[in-house]
């Protein structure tokens, strides 16, 4: 019987590598992606087809999250710790295909986040936004809430504020 020995990940057939990586969570895919170019390329491809993207154990910066969220029309659930993000990340995060949004630590976002969800994510059914506009100088206006509720007519679950006290 002939034995097959792989000494490096990039020696695995791409289809096998992709199959293995689809069984991993996002954090594991990201950890594996830094090992070599072949794995990184496979990870980038997989991230563009995943239906769920959940990273709640760390708070990524805009620079860290940008390569992890390529265009993906299959993305239905996005759960993220937004502690290092702000209004400038809205365009990257919000997609028309989303049905579930769970953003923790949104203190650096203004009410614009609510209005943009209403205009960009019409199919959202479940929404959790923690600590929106808690930082000084950030505000939520009634028009932001009206645009959210007017745009997201499928909302079933709404939790918009969480106090850290």
79 and 145 share one domain: yes
Q: Token pair 């614009």 is at which residue? A: 112
Whether 69 and 37 share a structural domain: no
Name the β-bridge partners of 54: 79
**Residue 2 included in any domain:** no
Q: 103 - beta bridge partners?
A: 80, 129
Q: Domain of residue 101: give its range.
A: 51-159
pLDDT at 158: 58
DSSP 8-state assignment for residue 111: T
Mean pLDDT by 10 residues, the chain (165 residues): 62 80 80 80 83 89 88 94 94 96 92 94 93 77 92 77 51
Q: How many domains does the chain have?
A: 2
Same domain, 35 and 15: yes
- 3 domain-assigned: no
pTM: 0.79
Residue 37 shares a structural domain with residue 109:
no
**Boundary residue ending a domain (32, 47, 62):** 47
Length of the chain counted residue by residue: 165
Q: What's the CA gap between 129 and 139, in Å, rounded? A: 14
Max alpha carbon distance in the chain (Å)?
72
Q: Which residues fall within 8 angstroms of residue 8, CB to CB, at 6 or more apart?
A: 36
User: Is residue 77 in some structural domain?
Assistant: yes
Whole-angstrom Cα distance, residue 145 to residue 89? 19
Tell me which DSSP letter residue 135 carries: S
- Residue 133, SS3 per DSSP: coil
Residue 6 has a pLDDT of 55
Residues 75 and 117 in one domain: yes
């Amino acid at each position: 019987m002939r034995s097959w020995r792989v000494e490096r990940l990039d020696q695995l057939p791409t289809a096998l590598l992709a199959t293995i990586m689809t069984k991993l969570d996002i954090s594991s895919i990201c950890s594996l992606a830094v090992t070599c170019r072949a794995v990184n390329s496979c990870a980038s491809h997989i991230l563009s087809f995943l239906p769920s993207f959940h990273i709640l154990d760390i708070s990524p910066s805009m620079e860290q999250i940008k390569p992890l969220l390529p265009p993906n029309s299959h993305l239905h659930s996005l759960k993220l710790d937004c502690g290092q993000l702000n209004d400038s990340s809205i365009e990257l995060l919000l997609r028309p295909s989303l049905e579930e949004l769970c953003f923790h630590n949104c203190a650096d976002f203004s009410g614009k986040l609510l209005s943009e969800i209403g205009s960009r994510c019409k199919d959202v059914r479940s929404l959790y936004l923690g600590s929106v506009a808690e930082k000084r100088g950030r505000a939520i206006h009634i028009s932001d809430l009206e645009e959210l509720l007017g745009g997201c007519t499928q909302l079933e679950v709404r939790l918009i504020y969480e106090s850290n006290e």
